[in-house]
Amino acid sequence: MDAASSRRGRPAAHVQFSQWHRDRKLSGSAERFGESAAILLGDLCLIWAEQMLRESGVDHRSLQRAWPLYDAMRTELAVGQFADLTIDVRDLPSMDTVLEVARRKSGNYTVRRPLELGAAMSGCSDRTISGLGRYGETVGEAFQLRDDLLGVFGASSVTGKPDGQDLIERKATSVVIAAHTLADPPTRRQLAELMNSGDLDDGAIERWRTLIVETGAVEWIEDTIGHRVSAALSEIDQLRINAPLRAALAKMAAVCTERTE
Amino acid sequence: MDAASSRRGRPAAHVQFSQWHRDRKLSGSAERFGESAAILLGDLCLIWAEQMLRESGVDHRSLQRAWPLYDAMRTELAVGQFADLTIDVRDLPSMDTVLEVARRKSGNYTVRRPLELGAAMSGCSDRTISGLGRYGETVGEAFQLRDDLLGVFGASSVTGKPDGQDLIERKATSVVIAAHTLADPPTRRQLAELMNSGDLDDGAIERWRTLIVETGAVEWIEDTIGHRVSAALSEIDQLRINAPLRAALAKMAAVCTERTE
């Protein structure tokens, strides 16, 4: 289950399936059942999405242009998620690594590839497709940075997940890596302690959050999001597209990266 | 992970990924990592299989005949697995229910749908496709019954899983249901006790196996497998196909349902 998709205020699929299991008083572990059923639902969605595109009525030639991009999107998502699993937070991966994984597992399929798909299917020039690709990659990265901030500071009413979920899971997100990079040595030691400690209670999570803010990591991420959005807007300035389309793309960059959803 | 596919003497994907995690001394749970990585590999295989068929070079018209069967196969597999999750062994489902789920989650995608797919793509008549479908459904069911016997009595050297895995997992397989149906009242009480007990040691598994044999369930399943294979052979007798093809189908029915792999 992707982080972004479960930040919509409704319980994720595996939680709903677990409840279904409990309501029916079935035997065995409700958690295990919930996870298994959610995986099967994921398989069905993967199948149905491809089937819907194939049966959409879009002509054969446009579909032929779409499939390579569609396959790339699906494959790089799975590979990116795998890369995410192998990142060991104790090794403190570089910011470049963290952003590269974020691009592959989230930014590309959320923004870049869908744009390229639409452009390819409607017969846009290679120049336009590349420009939209660069815009999408940049917006996708800003989207992921916003998601990382929500994962640490978002209220559970907004994210639909426990407060500070990414800290509880010890995820090596851009926020955590930025804090480690910017921290002075004593703060860095405190951050490392929290990272390597066993169970974290609410107080520890709150202390961790405060330390992160004190390093200046939040401002740094906010600035980076701002720069990414500006870069994306320059990309669309260079595209040969009409004014309403340009305005829509600018709007989309804002919506994908704004502070609350 | 489907039962049949992991009975080949090699560790299943999640076990291999867990080992990979341990070998690299990564942080976090190796079991959890193994399961997550195996799920992603499953997603990739689902994507790649469809992509390979689409890019196989088979002409557009044959592919159009194949897709509905291909989609049905993938969808009914996921739905069948879900039905399998919801079967509560304590409710002792009927043999019909157990066989219906087995058909959907295993028999159809192992035997029936692949045959129909090949026949549809090579332009066979509807009559031939239906005949092959009935043959495939019957062989698929016999295949599943054999798999159920292996799940209870197969040596781990053959199945690649712990001895009596299906009993350990309290799966409501055809073997377990047949034993409950055929048992006299005192034996049925003993079977129910084992089914509802907590942890089962090797001695308890061995006792459960002995009780199952004593009910005559194994002979009953073996007879049923024999009847299914005979019925499948009658189906191919009625097909208008040449002798080598008929012999190949007869051979396949035997290979799918023989005692050891």
Q: Per residue of chain B (261 residues), what is the pLDDT tens digit?
A: 344 444 446 789 999 999 999 998 887 889 999 999 999 999 999 999 999 999 999 999 999 999 999 999 999 999 989 988 888 767 788 888 888 888 887 788 888 999 999 999 999 999 999 999 999 999 999 999 999 999 999 876 666 666 788 888 888 899 999 999 999 999 999 999 998 887 888 899 999 999 999 999 999 999 999 999 999 999 999 998 899 999 999 999 999 898 764
Q: Which residue has the tokens 């793309």?
A: A249
Residue B254: count other Cβ atoms within 10 Å of its Cβ.
12
- Contact pairs from chain A to chain B, CB under 8 Å: 67
Distance CA A236, CA A133 (A): 10
A193-231 pLDDT tens trace: 998 887 888 899 999 999 999 999 999 999 999 999 999
d(Cα A86, Cα A77) in Å, to the nearest integer? 14
ipTM, two decimals: 0.81
3-state secondary structure at position B162: coil
Q: Which of A168, A169, A167, A149 is nearest to A159 (CA)?
A: A149
Cβ–Cβ below 8 Å for A85 and B36:
yes
Whether B78 contacts chain A with CB within 8 A: yes
Long-range contacts of A180-185, Cβ-Cβ distance < 8 Å, separation of 24 or more: A180/A92, A181/A95, A181/A217, A182/A215, A182/A216, A182/A217, A182/A220, A183/A211, A183/A215
Contact A82 B170 (CB under 8 A): no
Nearest by Cα to A79 from A97, A102, A104: A104
Closest CA to B142 of B255, B16, B261: B255
Q: What are B188's two structure tokens?
A: 């049925």
**Is B40 within 8 Å of A82 when comparing Cβ atoms?**
yes
CA-based nearest distance B216→chain A, Å:
28
Tell if the CB–CB gap between A71 and B60 is shorter than 8 Å.
no
Mean pLDDT of A170-193: 92
Residues in chain B: 261
